[in-house]
């Protein structure tokens, strides 16, 4: 691979891997705290899937960039500004409704993202991975959508909480669909789809589910951004100190 | 199977899954290919789930068991085509049922990872009057069900 192509693939893999790692970490925070035993099994299982996706993508990134020895270095030993995840995934969980709504937004986005990678991607290993990732993210999207409907269409109080969750996450949705110079380059090289190209499919599905839950579709305009450039919100520092604790305290420790 | 890999295959196929210890890797359809290059055997496995924690245990097990018979092996993961529950053997399905797990339905093109619209048989009393309790059971590959006749909870292996 030519060096400018390698840089592009590395950065692209990091963006997706970081989104999955950070949302996986947030989701894992529910372990032992979910409202019922069934959800206490479901959320950590989803977290495991997300972290598994991140691990595989970090491994591919390490094959391309020899600066990093293994996936743990990428996951646990970078500085805050070196993480390229969306602000959406690093926000605190909030209540259960807020957690499943964010999972619904993100996994529905990733479902359509992988669907496009499956059709076209110049990096063969990622194209192969997308076949499996598509199936798993579809399952997450479906699981979360059922809760969005159940809670939205539940009691006055559960509907209110879901409406609050919609308002709470709204400022972070613009970044999900924001094209930048990098995403344009990825698309021109047939590496990754442009985020805007996913918007219509995503909107159709999300709008239909929200409607079933008597909830209003949010306004999506670019409000908060920075994650893709490594500029994160305050919550992220606390998350990282928890995530990185073991590797910082006991460098190179392994299971 | 490639010539000269029969010995490796004989060892690998009988290894068991750490989370479903009554099933062999052959029952699950996880081993896709064994090839030889100059120095090594290359064993390709298809993970049931990308984040399945059993995979690293399986990789280590394959490598160490092959080493015992003097074969050095490299384990590679393959996601294309993605592992499907259709690859579980008839024997594997029977064993699942004996151990109280309801086996997956055959996959259809329009279903993704669930059996929502189909009847799931209770592995204890064989009743079809069952209901889903949760999308996820004890592991990511199973959902949790309950039998309305014998009232026992049970795991149903997801169709993927």
pLDDT in the model for residue A94: 98
Q: Cα–Cα distances in Å, from B132 out to B136, B147, B154?
A: 10, 9, 10
Contact B108, B116 (CB under 8 A): no
Q: Is A255 within a domain?
A: no
Q: Are the beta carbons of B79 and A131 separated by less than 8 Å?
A: yes
Boundary of a domain, candidates B51, B77, B103: B77
Same domain, B63 and B102: no
Q: Are the beta carbons of A131 and B80 separated by less than 8 Å?
A: yes
Q: Which chain B residues are Cβ-neighbours of A136 within 8 angstroms?
A: 49-50, 113
Long-range contacts of A42-48 (CB under 8 A, 24+ apart): A42/A143, A42/B134, A42/B135, A42/B136, A43/A99, A45/B136, A45/B139, A45/B140, A46/A103, A46/A140, A46/A143, A46/B136, A48/A24, A48/B51, A48/B53, A48/B140
Q: Is A30 within a domain?
A: yes
**Better-scored residue on pLDDT, B111 or B128:** B128
pLDDT in the model for residue B38: 86
Q: If you average pLDDT over residues A107-126, what whole number do you get?
A: 98
Question: Which of A39, A45, A56 is closest, CB to CB, to B50?
Answer: A56
Same domain, B71 and B102: no
Question: Which of A41, A50, A132 is closest, CB to CB, to B82?
Answer: A132
Q: Is A218 within a domain?
A: yes
- pLDDT-wise least confident of A166-180, A195-209, B109-123: B109-123
Boundary of a domain, candidates B77, B107, B140: B77
Contact B21, B95 (CB under 8 A): no
Neighbour order of strands in the sheet with B31-36: B31-36, B41-45, B73-77
Burial class for B72, CB neighbours closer than 10 Å (0-12, 13-18, 19+): exposed
Q: If you average pLDDT over residues B140-145, what whole number do you get?
A: 87
Q: Provide the residue range defining the domain that includes A103.
A: 3-249
Residues A174-191: pLDDT tens digits? 999 999 999 999 999 999
Same domain, B17 and B69: yes
Helices A124-152 and A199-212 pack at an angle, to 10 degrees, of 20
Query: Does residue A41 sit at the B interface (CB-CB below 8 Å)?
Result: yes
Tell me the CATH number at B61: 3.30.300.130
Q: Give me chain B's average pLDDT, please.
A: 89
Local confidence band at A157 (pLDDT 50, 70, 90 cut-offs): very high
Nearest chain A CA: its distance from B159 CA (Å): 11
Q: Are the beta carbons of A53 and B137 separated by less than 8 Å?
A: no
Same domain, B69 and B99: no
- H or E stretch at B43: strand B41-45
| pLDDT over 80 (residue B55) | yes
pLDDT in the model for residue B1: 64
Q: If you average pLDDT over residues A22-46, what whole number do you get?
A: 94
Local confidence band at A2 (pLDDT 50, 70, 90 cut-offs): confident
Q: If you average pLDDT over residues B13-24, what whole number do you get?
A: 93
Pairing between strand B142-147 and B130-134?
antiparallel
Q: How far apart are CA B108 and CA B82, in angstroms?
A: 14
| pLDDT over 90 (residue B2) | no
**Shortest CA distance to A55 belongs to which of A96, A25, A29, A92?**
A25
Same domain, B113 and B67: no
Task: Return the bridge partners of B156, or none.
Answer: B102, B143
Q: Give me chain A's average pLDDT, please.
A: 96
Q: If you average pLDDT over residues A192-204, what whole number do you get?
A: 98
| pLDDT over 80 (residue A1) | no
ipTM exceeds 0.95, yes or no: no
Q: If you average pLDDT over residues A98-125, what whole number do you get?
A: 98
pTM of the model: 0.92
**Shortest CA distance to A28 belongs to which of A12, A58, A52?**
A52
Q: How far apart are CA A11 and CA A180, in angstroms?
A: 13
Count of domains for chain B:
2
Contact B152, B133 (CB under 8 A): no
**Shortest CA distance to A150 belongs to which of A203, A188, A97, A190?**
A97
- What tokens were used for B30? 């996880």
Residues A215-244: pLDDT tens digits? 999 999 999 999 999 999 999 999 999 999
Count of domains for chain A:
1
Q: Is A7 within a domain?
A: yes
Contact B152, B123 (CB under 8 A): no
C-alpha dihedral sign at B69, B71, B72, B77: negative
Question: Which of A39, A48, A139 is closest, CB to CB, to B112?
Answer: A139
| pLDDT over 70 (residue B65) | yes
Q: Is A74 within a domain?
A: yes
Q: If you average pLDDT over residues A103-111, what whole number do you get?
A: 98
Q: If you average pLDDT over residues B106-110, what whole number do you get?
A: 66
Contact A251, A244 (CB under 8 A): no
Local confidence band at A37 (pLDDT 50, 70, 90 cut-offs): confident
Contact B74, B41 (CB under 8 A): yes
Q: How far apart are CA B152 and CA A170, in angstroms?
A: 43
Query: Does residue A133 sit at the B interface (CB-CB below 8 Å)?
Result: yes
Tell me the CATH number at A70: 1.20.1260.10
pLDDT in the model for residue B139: 77
| pLDDT over 80 (residue B118) | no
Residues A64-94: pLDDT tens digits? 998 999 999 999 999 999 999 999 999 999 9
Q: If you average pLDDT over residues A132-156, what whole number do you get?
A: 96
Q: Across chain A, where does the E strand assignment appear?
A: none
Contact B160, A135 (CB under 8 A): yes
pLDDT in the model for residue A86: 98
Q: Is A254 within a domain?
A: no
Query: Does residue B106 sit at the A interface (CB-CB below 8 Å)?
Result: no
Q: Is B90 within a domain?
A: no
Q: Which chain A residues are Cβ-neighbours of B138 within 8 angstroms?
A: 41
Q: Is B85 within a domain?
A: no
Q: Is A87 within a domain?
A: yes
Q: Is B50 within a domain?
A: yes
Q: Is B89 within a domain?
A: no
DSSP string over A139-150: HHHHHHHHHHHH
pLDDT in the model for residue B113: 46
Same domain, B151 and B101: yes
Local confidence band at B53 (pLDDT 50, 70, 90 cut-offs): confident
Q: Is B88 within a domain?
A: no
| pLDDT over 90 (residue A12) | yes
Q: Is A171 within a domain?
A: yes
Boundary of a domain, candidates B44, B77, B110: B77
Q: How far apart are the first and last CA of chain B?
A: 26
| pLDDT over 70 (residue B112) | no
Local confidence band at B115 (pLDDT 50, 70, 90 cut-offs): very low
Q: How far apart are CA B99 and CA B103, in angstroms?
A: 10
Place of tokens 């009847």: B119
Query: Does residue B87 sit at the A interface (CB-CB below 8 Å)?
Result: no
Q: Provide the residue range defining the domain that includes B39.
A: 6-77
Burial class for B119, CB neighbours closer than 10 Å (0-12, 13-18, 19+): exposed
């Amino acid at each position: 691979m030519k060096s400018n192509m390698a840089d592009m693939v590395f950065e692209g893999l990091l963006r997706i891997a970081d989104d999955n790692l950070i949302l996986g970490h947030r989701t894992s925070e529910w372990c032992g705290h979910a409202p019922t035993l069934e959800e206490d099994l479901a959320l950590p299982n989803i977290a495991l899937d997300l972290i598994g996706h991140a691990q595989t993508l970090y491994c591919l990134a390490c094959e391309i960039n020899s600066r990093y020895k293994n996936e743990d270095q990428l996951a646990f030993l970078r500085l805050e500004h070196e993480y390229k995840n969306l602000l959406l995934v690093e926000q605190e969980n909030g209540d259960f409704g807020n957690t499943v709504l964010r999972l619904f937004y993100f996994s529905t986005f990733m479902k359509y993202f992988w669907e496009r990678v499956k059709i076209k991607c110049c990096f063969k290993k990622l194209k192969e991975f997308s076949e499996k990732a598509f199936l798993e993210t579809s399952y997450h999207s479906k699981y979360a959508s059922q809760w969005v409907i159940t809670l939205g269409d539940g009691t006055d109080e559960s509907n209110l909480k879901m409406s609050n969750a919609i308002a709470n996450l709204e400022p972070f949705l613009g970044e999900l669909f924001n094209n930048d110079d990098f995403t344009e380059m990825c698309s021109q090289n047939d590496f990754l789809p442009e985020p805007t190209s996913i918007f219509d499919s995503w909107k159709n599905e999300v709008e239909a589910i929200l409607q079933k839950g008597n909830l209003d579709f949010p306004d999506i305009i670019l409000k908060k951004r920075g994650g893709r450039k490594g500029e994160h919100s305050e919550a992220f520092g606390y998350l990282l100190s928890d995530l990185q604790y073991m590797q910082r305290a006991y460098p190179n420790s392994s299971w | 199977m490639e010539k000269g890999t029969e010995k490796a295959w004989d060892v690998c196929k009988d290894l068991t899954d750490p989370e479903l210890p009554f099933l062999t890797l052959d029952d699950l359809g996880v081993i896709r290919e064994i090839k030889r290059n100059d120095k090594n055997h290359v064993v390709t496995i298809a993970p049931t789930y990308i984040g399945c924690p059993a995979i690293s245990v399986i990789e280590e097990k394959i490598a160490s068991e092959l080493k015992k018979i003097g074969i050095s092996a490299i384990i590679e993961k393959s996601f294309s085509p993605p592992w499907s529950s259709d690859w579980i053997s008839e024997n594997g399905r029977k064993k699942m049922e004996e151990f109280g797990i309801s086996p997956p339905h055959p996959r259809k093109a329009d279903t993704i990872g669930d059996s929502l619209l189909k009847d799931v048989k209770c592995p204890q009393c064989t009743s079809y009057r069952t209901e889903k309790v949760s999308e996820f059971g004890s592991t990511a590959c199973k959902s949790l069900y309950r039998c309305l006749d014998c009232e026992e909870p049970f795991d149903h292996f997801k169709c993927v």
